[in-house]
Amino acid sequence: MSELPPQIIELRTPNFVLRTLQPGDEGPELESWTLDPIVAEMMNAELKTWSIERQRSFFATGLSRPDRRFIGIFPAGSAVPIGVFIIKLNVSKGTFVVSTLIGDKSWRGKNVITECADEIYRLLFMETGFHKGKANVLPTNKAMIWLMAQSAWRREGRLRKHLSNSTNKERLDVLVYGLLKPLWLDFITRKKREGAQANDGVQI
């Protein structure tokens, strides 16, 4: 049976700290995030500066709702987040919906999500007993579609005209992806095996 993860989360990878965003993490470095159309759509936000007040309110929402977790991506040694995992939890069904975005454009294309995502899935699948993840991806988000294709996520459908653009009210399609726990476990096992084989016989 699945259970809610802790309200305050802190995970680590070789290069990043993943921890719950809280009031106090807001800052001017984040104000440009929602000027990016893809980020604005993912956050259902208007295409304008993400004010300090709106940042603080957003982070507080993640702490006040038991079915939400907003986990910031922090480079090791930095107090400024470069992105966020937004997780919606359904304990009774053992499912979660995850949105992932890198708000700081200078960090895009540097395998941030590849390195960090498996720690999030390990928490949800292995420690709290969830069975399936779901993700909604805009067809224009080519980078995320490519990442999905390199992982255990599988495309399950396309919802036509499913979203309304917050700025111009245009109706948008959404691609639906699913992540099953057994497929993720197989993927992790293969990745570890391939890594071991790549290092076999190499002297450092």
pLDDT at 80: 98
Q: What pLDDT band is residue 199 in, cutting at 50, 70 and 90?
A: low
Exposure string of 110-131, with b = 16+ CB inside 10 Å and e = fewer, is: eebbeebbbbbbebbbeebebe
Residue 24 to residues 41, 53, 65, Cα–Cα distance (Å): 24, 11, 18
Whether 55 and 48 have beta carbons less than 8 Å apart is answered as no
Per-domain residue ranges of the chain = 10-192
Q: What is the pLDDT of residue 202?
A: 47
Q: How confident is the model at residue 10 (pLDDT cuts 50, 70, 90)?
A: very high
**What is the number of other CB atoms lying within 10 angstroms of the CB of residue 42?**
22
Question: pLDDT digits over 112-134, tens only?
Answer: 999 999 999 999 999 999 999 99
- pTM score, two decimals? 0.89
**Residue 90: both structure tokens together:** 């359904």
Output the CATH code of domain 10-192.
Answer: 3.40.630.30
High-pLDDT (> 70) share of the chain, %? 94
pLDDT digits (tens, 9 = 90+) for 34-74: 998 878 877 777 789 999 999 999 999 999 999 999 999 99
Q: How far apart are CA 52 and CA 30, in angstroms?
A: 8
Strand 83-90 and strand 68-75: pairing?
antiparallel
